[in-house]
Amino acid sequence: MPADCPRILYLHGLNSSPASQKASQLRRAMERIGLAEQLRVPALHHHPRQAIAQLETAIAELGRPVLVGSSLGGYYATHLAERHGLRALLINPAVRPHLLFDGYLGPQQNYYSDETWELTAEHVAALAALEVPPPQDPARFQVWLQTADETLDYRQAQVYYRACALRIQAGGDHGFQGFAERLPMLLAFAGIPARLWRDIDFSDL
């Protein structure tokens, strides 16, 4: 990898995987601009402590990557960005997810791998341990929210990340509609030179 080229570490959400739509679109975009090797999309373990251990290893290998986190991945990205002083772009991020699992403990299934696992109170406690105060450095964070997110209340993220650069779009959903069309904004935030992507139409990804 060129030493001066930004690396991107993508963090998927709960019961998701590297095969998710946004991860796949980002991977194809990086391939299209010739930077496939600059992107890492690990398959995160369902347990928060093991997921964070995976991500810490990836950060150590990549140097100082730009984090891109979706949903629960956004929560993890916030924790890691604050710990390491990294930049992070968050897409419909979960805020205090340990408060959202009341009544949901029990069997879970990954949407992509069909893996089944048990969500326990210990998982929830491990999530709570990762909570950090709201970020205060808007230059290191960009937060993309869609108001019709059916899984998370976007207003919680709007308040939590109020000091950061917020991009709030009416409508949409939890998966974030129109992600491919916004890839130039992501690449610009990551610091990838505009000459590599400014003339490319990513809408077909």
Q: How many domains does the chain have?
A: 1
Q: Is 77 exposed, middle or buried (0-12, 13-18, 19+ CB in 10 A)?
A: buried
Q: Tokens at residue 21, please?
A: 């739509």
In a domain, 2, yes or no: no
Distance, in Å, from the CA atom of 74 to the CA atom of 161, rounded to the nearest integer, reads: 12
- Please report the pLDDT score of residue 153 as a whole number: 97
Q: Do 102 and 124 meet the contact criterion of CB atoms below 8 Å apart?
A: no
Question: Domain range for residue 39?
Answer: 8-196
- Please report the pLDDT score of residue 1 as a whole number: 43
Please list the residues that pair with 146 across neighbouring strands: 169
Distance, in Å, from the CA atom of 137 to the CA atom of 129, rounded to the nearest integer, reads: 22
Residue 123 corresponds to which amino acid? Answer: H
In a domain, 61, yes or no: yes
In a domain, 20, yes or no: yes
Cβ atoms within 10 Å, residue 37: 12
- Please report the pLDDT score of residue 3 as a whole number: 53
Distance, in Å, from the CA atom of 162 to the CA atom of 94, rounded to the nearest integer, reads: 14
User: Which parts of the chain fold into alpha helices (H)?
Assistant: 21-32, 48-62, 72-84, 121-128, 154-160, 183-190
In a domain, 3, yes or no: no
Q: Do 203 and 180 meet the contact criterion of CB atoms below 8 Å apart?
A: yes
In a domain, 85, yes or no: yes
What's the predicted TM-score (pTM) here?
A: 0.96
In a domain, 201, yes or no: no
In a domain, 118, yes or no: yes
- Please report the pLDDT score of residue 15 as a whole number: 94
Distance, in Å, from the CA atom of 47 to the CA atom of 123, rounded to the nearest integer, reads: 6
Q: What is the pLDDT of residues 22-78, one digit of tens each?
A: 999 999 999 999 999 999 999 999 999 999 999 999 999 999 999 999 999 999 999
In a domain, 119, yes or no: yes
* CATH assignment of the domain containing 152: 3.40.50.1820
Low-confidence ranges of the chain (pLDDT < 70): 1-3
